[in-house]
Amino acid sequence: MHKLLTDNPGQKMLMLGNEAIARGAIEAGVAFTASYPGTPSSEISLNFFQMSKESDLYFEYSINEKVSVEVSAAAANCGVRSMCVMKHVGMNVAADALLTLAYIGVTGGMVILTADDPFMFSSQNEQDNRYYGKLAGLPVLEPSSVAEAKEMTKQAFELSEALGEPVILRTTTRINHSTGVVELGEITERKTKGDFTKDPMRCVTVPAVSRGLHVKLLANLDKAEEIACTSPLNKVDGSGSLGVIVNGVSYSYVKDGLKDLGATDKVKILRIGFSNPLPKALVLDFIKGCDKVLVVEEGEPFMEEAVKAVAQENGLTLPICGKGEHLFSRLYEFDPKMVRNVMASYFELAPVPSQSVDTSNVPEIPNRPPNLCAGCSHRATFYAVKQATQGMDVMFPSDIGCYTLGFMPPLATGDFVLCMGASTSTSAGFSTVTDKKVISFVGDSTFFHSGIMGLMNAVFNNHNFTLVILDNRITGMTGHQPNPGVDMDEMGFEGYNSIDIEGLVKAAGVKHVSVVRPYNLKKSIAAIKEAVEFEGVSVVIAKEKCTLYAKSLKQLTGKKFQVNPEKCKNHRDCIDTIACPAFTTEGGRVRINEDMCAGCAICAQICPENAILPVKK
Amino acid sequence: MNDTGHARFQKNGHSLRHNLFSTQGDTHMDTKRLIIVAVGGQGNLLASRVLGEAALLQGIPVHMSEIHGMAQRGGVVESSIVFGDAESTIISDGEADVFVSFEPSEALRALGRCKEETVTITNLSPLPPFTVAIGKGVYPEIDKVTELLANKTRRLIAFDAVKLAEEAGNVLSVNMVLLGALIETGVLPISADAIREAISTKTKKAFVDVNLKAFELGFAEAAKH
């Protein structure tokens, strides 16, 4: 049985934050779940997916985040508890649905999880999604620990039903990817079927209806604020005339910091867990008892500005600070020492002396950037494209996925990366206003997610570029999730269909479509040359399974390769042009690490001396 | 381990020997901070997991954090584990009590996480990054690595963990070798028995024997340093 389905209340379990959130939803009786995978939220979806295979929980990998919100919104409007899960930028994709769903509301609890990524460990920006709560007029809950993430997920469902609208559960990477001890609670029975009661004056958002719904939304916000003011999710710790107002993971840094500074009796803490709408009465009560307040929040001054507004409205003039010089930054993530030091300086407490070792005489360590895996077919495709376009003035818009890593030298096949699906649409703009030949890259999952729209737009508007669809038969970057092109039978799952990318592209009106097997360099280069010469939109589908995925399916059959030292003349074309991590140098000579070699044979096709040969066993 | 925690734990049906709930104070527990750095694929996340499970077995508060988005793409993977009375899951520069590196150059890269009192453990078997092969950096001399680590931290335990992993029966058990060395230092409030229990119950059945052997080899090796 899946460990998160364990029905043993009181048992303690070590859980990843994302597991705790999935467990919280199960305890709340969630019955309908949907997601497009995105780090740092991916393991929540993965656990739902796994549990859906051994219970009556419904889960789907939706084609994108907007669709995941829409399918869930429908279920939640039939009284079924629903949840959708996305990374922070996924909320941008879902925003169109979200902002009007706030007007319609729900009849069953609906929780939308957004996982923000301060420091951008695996993201293209570090937007602060608390503003979506403000923008949509929806409640936002923010846990401070792994154990609390489970509890808060349950409370989010209760709150959603109390208010009749979706609730945003906002985490950051350090909640999603932290691990802690969690105590299991009771599992509420899932109600998997509901019914839709026709109510056009609530559910059909024509202007005449929406004007009334906006009134209801604002009234709901007032109600939410009343709840927030007495909610145990917002709590005051400690005592003193100095005050800290803090949310999320920073709460643990504040608590540890005050203990280290010996200041737990001087500084009291208002921990905000229900952060939108801000509980103004509670904040006022807290700051009234303070001489000085520090707002500790990663990201934007979301609470700080609201707290200052509360002070202003009530004629309070005490110092309230958060972001600024010698205070906190809006950039990146916080850490315990940083929070402790800012508290010490702002509250004029004796700081804890730094004990860091002196690293000034440590030599520079060579970088270890992430790299495409040994045997990755994207590397072969990138090489083939470079060969096919030698001497041409080309540019390469790319997209979001493992293949974004191709931007690094020596492959250097990524010149512009914006957001999911933008490769196809930015290509249209670049090819219209420059004389460069535009060749763009998109992965199979990203193509389905949103790339297809840009391609159809390009066909209709008669643009001129070549799109290379890197079809590795799976969603690679986030850990091998299905997408609409995946063969689910092969993964061992029944009851799905599969969409053929070639047929889809042709149906969209692309006149020049070719399919290549990228490990065959000669044929791939020839097909890419033809596509590039075509006037108009052309598509090359480079079809080869992700090496790691193939390995997991036990389909990796290629022989391992080695360098024959007698034949090798040390041209180094292999190492210099494809940057495969299986290559090393020993005494100035090239070697292949057999443990890493996946047998793709790309290097063997490149070597001018034919010195790279299969290992004879 | 406080008494109420102990009672709750037993009620939940776990049968553990009493000696696992050893010498912790009744109400206050010192905080110990551990940083582990490794290269994607070396198995440090499993090592962290075993430590976390062992802490749970002993009833010691534990908070862990890891960055693993790039684990399979050859980047650096870092775990932080905080034992005892603290709530943060990450560890600031200069605040690790004990530091384990699965790769010698990564030990130097992460040296800023240490203080003078830190106990450092490093594998000496190098995994040069690809940037070295394409001439974009120079891999540091191993002697220089150990000299710097030994001079800057309280105690250095440096050895070839790959060799011991092979001796244990599987090169992939480097993580358990280093875990053995870590426990030998006695910096953490985690007992060898709790680790053995966690390895036996939380690592893949087929690898338990090799993992246990690797753990013992690492433990014995550290005692020589």
Task: Find the CB nearest B56 among A181, A366, A372.
Answer: A181
Nearest partner of B125 among B111, B110, B109, B105, judged by Cα: B105
Task: Tell if the CB–CB gap between B133 and A584 is shorter than 8 Å.
Answer: yes
Give yes or no for residue B175 having a pLDDT over 50.
Answer: yes
Length of chain A: 617
Residue A356 lies in a domain: no
User: Chain B residues with CB inside 8 Å of A351's CB?
Assistant: none
Q: What is the pLDDT of residue B27?
A: 47
Q: What is the pLDDT of residue B70?
A: 57
Across chain A, how many H-helices and E-strands are there? 23, 23
Q: Does A12 touch chain B (CB under 8 A)?
A: yes
Residue A252 Cα distances to A188, A334, A336, B16, angstroms:
30, 11, 8, 31
ipTM: 0.94
Nearest partner of A481 among A14, A18, A37, judged by Cα: A37
Distant-in-sequence, close-in-space partners of B80: CB < 8 Å, separation ≥ 6: B33, B34, B35, B36, B64, B65, B66, B89, B90, B91
Distant-in-sequence, close-in-space partners of A527: CB < 8 Å, separation ≥ 6: A514, A516, A540
Q: Rounded to an integer, what distance in angstroms lies between the CA atom of residue A128 and that of residue A401?
A: 22
Residue A610 lies in a domain: yes
Q: Do residues A505 and A591 share a domain?
A: no
Q: What is the DSSP string of A28-84?
A: TT--EEEE---TTSHHHHHHHHHHHTSSS-EEEE-SSHHHHHHHHHHHHTTT--EEE
Check: CB of residue A468 under 8 Å from CB of residue A441.
yes
Q: Which two tokens stand for residue A115?
A: 């996982």
Q: Do residues A335 and A398 share a domain?
A: no
Q: Domain end: A176, A206, A229, which one?
A: A229
Residue A362 lies in a domain: no
Residue A364 lies in a domain: no
Would you give the distance in Å from CA A341 to the centre of its chain? Answer: 31
CATH number at residue A609: 3.30.70.20
Task: Tell if the CB–CB gap between B112 and A579 is shorter than 8 Å.
Answer: no
A-proximal residues of B, 118-137, CB under 8 Å: 118, 128-134, 136-137
Residue A145 lies in a domain: yes
Q: Do residues A594 and A538 share a domain?
A: no
Query: Considering Cα of A386, then A375, then A518, then A515, what sign does the dihedral take?
Result: negative
Q: Do residues A303 and A252 share a domain?
A: yes
Q: Domain end: A229, A245, A270, which one?
A: A229
Strands in A274-276's sheet, in edge-to-edge order, are: A58-61, A32-35, A82-87, A110-116, A167-172, A140-141, A274-276
Q: Do residues A507 and A585 share a domain?
A: no
Task: Tell if the CB–CB gap between A12 and B9 is shorter than 8 Å.
Answer: yes
Please tell me the least confidently modeled range out of A244-253, B63-72, B144-153.
B63-72
Query: Considering Cα of B23, then B26, then B30, then B33, what sign does the dihedral take?
Result: positive
Residue A457 lies in a domain: yes
Q: Which domains does chain B have, with CATH numbers?
A: 29-223 (3.40.920.10)
Q: Do residues A28 and A152 share a domain?
A: yes
Nearest partner of A475 among A550, A402, A552, judged by Cα: A402
Mean pLDDT across B141-150: 96
Q: What is the DSSP string of A111-180?
A: EEEEEE-TT-TT-S----THHHHHHHT--EE--SSHHHHHHHHHHHHHHHHHHTS-EEEEEEHHHHTEEE
Q: Do residues A211 and A188 share a domain?
A: yes
Q: What is the pLDDT of residue B40?
A: 86
Residue A138 lies in a domain: yes
Q: Do residues A330 and A413 share a domain?
A: no
Task: Tell if the CB–CB gap between A357 and B90 is shorter than 8 Å.
Answer: no
Q: What is the pLDDT of residue A487?
A: 95
Q: What is the pLDDT of residue A429?
A: 98
Residues of chain A falling short of pLDDT 50: none
Q: Domain end: A552, A578, A593, which one?
A: A552
Q: Do residues A497 and A580 share a domain?
A: no
Exposure string (b/e) for A3-30, b if CB count within 10 Å is 16 or more? ebeeeeeebbbbbbbbbbbbbbbbbbbb
Q: What is the pLDDT of residue A595?
A: 85
Q: Which two tokens stand for residue B93?
A: 């520069």
Q: How many domains does chain A have?
A: 4
Q: Do residues A422 and A524 share a domain?
A: yes
Q: Rounded to an integer, what distance in angstroms lies between the CA atom of residue B113 and that of residue B110?
A: 6
Average pLDDT of chain B is 87
Pick from A358, A368, A549, A563 the residue to mutate for testing the B interface (most B CBs within 10 Å): A368
Q: What is the pLDDT of residue B4?
A: 34
Task: Find the CB nearest B88 among A8, A256, A373.
Answer: A256
Confidence of residue B28 (pLDDT cuts 50, 70, 90): low
CATH number at residue A118: 3.40.50.970
Q: Does B61 touch chain A (CB under 8 A)?
A: yes
Neighbours of A465 (CB within 10 A): 29
Domain extent for A408:
377-552
Neighbours of B162 (CB within 10 A): 20
Residue B218, class by beta-carbon neighbours within 10 Å (0-12 exposed, 13-18 middle, 19+ buried)? buried
Distant-in-sequence, close-in-space partners of A518: CB < 8 Å, separation ≥ 6: A377, A378, A380, A381, A384, A524, A542, A543, A544
B-proximal residues of A, 339-358, CB under 8 Å: 354-358
Q: Do residues A188 and A295 share a domain?
A: no
User: Chain B residues with CB inside 8 Å of A296's CB?
Assistant: none
Confidence of residue B112 (pLDDT cuts 50, 70, 90): very high
Q: Do residues A547 and A524 share a domain?
A: yes
Annotate chain B with three-state secondary structure.
CCHHHHHHHHHCCCCCCHHHCCCCCCCCCCCEEEEEEEECCCCHHHHHHHHHHHHHHHCCCEEEEEECCCHHHCCEEEEEEEECCCCCCCCCCCCEEEEEECCHHHHHHCHHHEEEEEEEEEECCCCCCHHHHCCCCCCCCHHHHHHHHHHHCCEEEEECHHHHHHHHCCHHHHHHHHHHHHHHCCCCCCCHHHHHHHHHHHCCHHHHHHHHHHHHHHHHHHHCC
Pick from A122, A357, A360, A411 the residue to mutate for testing the B interface (most B CBs within 10 Å): A357
Q: Does A10 touch chain B (CB under 8 A)?
A: yes
Q: What is the pLDDT of residue B20?
A: 43
Q: Rounded to an integer, what distance in angstroms lies between the CA atom of residue A126 and that of residue A121?
A: 9
Task: Find the CB nearest A365 among B62, B105, B130.
Answer: B105
E strands present in A421-520 = 437-443, 465-471, 512-516
Is residue A604 classed as helix, strand or coil in its secondary structure?
helix
CATH number at residue A279: 3.40.50.920
B-proximal residues of A, 96-125, CB under 8 Å: 121-122
Counting residues of chain B whose pLDDT is more than 90, the rounded percentage is 76
Task: Find the CB nearest B67 among A177, A249, A355.
Answer: A177
Residue A352 lies in a domain: no
Closest approach of B94 to chain A, Cα-based (Å): 4
User: Chain A residues with CB inside 8 Å of B93's CB?
Assistant: 335, 337, 356
Check: CB of residue A367 under 8 Å from CB of residue A509.
no
